[in-house]
Structure 1
């Protein structure tokens, strides 16, 4: 995907303005989001705190997509479509809802988890949210 330099620069500025730091480009965020979603497709195999940390890349992407000044730039629509494609894949994989104390404070991707994961992730979900997911092999 070719994204204009101006879009990338302004995306980075939006991240800095939101207090997210800088240096991680829109393309790096998209690559990270894709990698995370594929890890979920295989069965997320880490602890719950890392899962929510991994979701922060999607929060960063949303910060950029929500920035009104980016919407007019060349590359915005292409980037947005690429994110939507990964989001659609995540929606297919993460189908188990989790109860959140204040769901209105979180975007949709925080409301669900993959239907399968490693033993520790599954145990964390059961302990913290009372939900059960399938367990993938550990070897």
Structure 2
């Protein structure tokens, strides 16, 4: 890791920590958390609905970083943006769009709901939000 990359990592982590996130504050860790969440959703989300919304916070944190003025000075942001976009496209393909129309459109990942999951998740979503998802065994 060169000095410029180290500076980016440090600046990114400081920004994320200042927003209240206490773990997965490096670019790689945060992107990894988002990617793992999407992997889980592709296989059928295996946890409860509370965990689902908690896991979505990784994308919220990435969005804040991608839009932060102070991090735009780092060339590494364009690479991170491209990698996030790749994971995002996988997630978008899984969504029931506009499941939560009260959420602003720019937060599309929270406005939609994955269309399938494991039994516990599917039952939680049906009970809490009256959305019918595909149950994956």
Shorter-chain TM-score bucket reads: 0.7 to 0.9
Superposition deviation, residue 21 in structure 1: 3.5
Unaligned 5+ segments in structure 2 are: none
Does the 8 Å CA contact 2:13/2:25 hold for their aligned counterparts? Answer: yes
- Tell me what 2:122 maps to: 122
Which residue in 2 is equivalent to 1:59?
60
- Would the alpha carbon gap of residues 66 and 40 (structure 1) be closer, same or farther in structure 2, given more than 3 Å must change? same
Gaps of 5+ in 1: none
Question: 1:90 matched to which residue of 2?
Answer: 91
8 Å contact from structure 1 (residues 44, 118) kept in 2? yes
Q: Normalising by structure 2, what TM-score?
A: 0.88
Q: How many residues align?
A: 135
1:27-53 CA deviation, whole Å, 9 max, x = no partner?
100011111101100111110000000
RMSD between superposed Cα atoms in Å? 2.2
Matched-pair contact (CA < 8 Å) for 2:100–2:110: no
Matching residue of 1:135: 135
Segments of 4+ moved more than 3 angstroms: none
1:16 is matched with which residue? 17
